[in-house]
Amino acid sequence: MGFYSAHPTASTAWRLAVLMGANARTYKFALADALIEHASEGRSSVTLRELATSYTSAIIRHSADGPQAPASMKLAPKDFLTLVNKFREAFPVDAPPTEELVDAAVRAMPGMVMQKFHNLRGGVETPHRFYSLRASGRDAVVDFTAALKAVAGSTELHSLSSELDARWQIVEASFASGVGQSLMGQGLGVDLSLEHLLEKRRRRPVAGLTAAVVGFQYGRCLICWEPLEPFDSVAIDHVFPFSLMNSGRAVIDPHIDLDAVWNLAPAHASCNGQKSNRPPTRVEIFRLGQRNEAIMLSPHPLRRTLELSLALGGFQAGEGSWHKFLASVL
């Protein structure tokens, strides 16, 4: 996959699993959260029960904010999410999971989410695997691979965790009753004052813009291409600035929204300040095209948001479509 080959690291493989894996439910996100929790403690393995406890706690925590499966999905009485919903009705949101609920996770995880975590769309897998399962039942142990240890020990860990949470929130929004169709039809909007992605219909913040898209540019500043570190001051750059609308040197189609996701990129605040209103360089346009092509490989609704922008510019989604679109802007 081009996204990985451009930056062949364990962190990029992790981003493939989190940002570009298909999501019928949110189980992959809960597993990713649990893996990072234990691997960042320096551990090389955990019992399946320990992992299941963290996994279940993450789902309980998130289920207070939004649905963990499409609202249209009918859950069976013994479905794990049915059990989670019953738990939430009976206990406060910060209560630890019961032994019975963890038991259910231990039974379900090996044949469900742990088999699918490394799967990507198109029948391929991530270039690295992050764990293996040893033994079964109550004696099962989850061994962490060198790739997971590299992710947990990376300077990018803070960014990777933020990206995971943002992707989780976006998928929850798409699952919410009545909102999914809106997101599919209209995509996500942007509130630049809050630097958040929005449900257009209700103007409700969904996730932070930087966390939602920065992973598709490998956690780097689009301008200087150096990493965006946790304590860096970050700005949202309009890659094609508004000044081009009235410059006399170029006229941008008024139907093209420069405040949309396709044209917004996290950058160092200092780089953004130095760039000011100048047009983007060829390198910056190429990076933006690559970033947008990567987003097009992710599940809805973020992909749908970019599809709608392409359509307004007169282009259909397909290989190289973003590079063609960007070449037509000026």
Convert the pLDDT of each residue in 48-104 to its tens digit.
999 999 999 999 999 888 888 887 788 888 889 999 989 988 888 788 999 999 999
Q: Are 142 and 51 in contact (CB under 8 A)?
A: yes
Tens digit of pLDDT for each residue in 134-168? 987 778 999 999 999 999 999 999 999 999 999 99
The pLDDT mean for the chain works out to 89
The predicted structure's pLDDT at residue 286: 96
The C-alpha atoms of residue 257 and residue 295 are separated, in whole angstroms, by 18
**pTM of the predicted model as reported, rounded to 2 decimal places:** 0.91
- pLDDT, residue 291, reads 96
CA distance 14 to 114: 14
pLDDT at 147: 97
User: Residue length, the chain?
Assistant: 330
How would you class 156 by CB atoms within 10 Å of its CB: exposed for 0-12, middle for 13-18, buried for 19 or more? buried
pLDDT computed for residue 180 by the predictor:
64
φ, ψ at 59 (rounded to 5°):
-65, -40
Longest dimension (CA), the chain: 71
φ/ψ (deg, to 5) at 65: -100, -25
DSSP letter at 84?
H
Which residues have C-beta within 8 Å of that of residue 62, sequence separation ≥ 6? 26, 29, 30, 68, 168, 172
Structure confidence at residue 129 (pLDDT): 96
Q: Give the model's pLDDT for residue 183.
A: 66
The dihedral formed by the CA atoms of 89, 92, 97 and 98, expressed in degrees to the nearest 10:
-70
R_g of the chain, CA atoms, integer Å: 21
- Residues 46 and 141 sit within 8 Å (Cβ to Cβ): yes
pLDDT at 252: 65
Q: Which two tokens stand for residue 8?
A: 């062949």
Mean pLDDT by 10 residues, the chain (330 residues): 89 95 88 97 96 96 86 84 90 88 94 92 90 88 97 94 94 75 76 88 86 96 95 94 67 77 96 93 96 89 90 84 89
pLDDT (0 to 100) of residue 248: 52
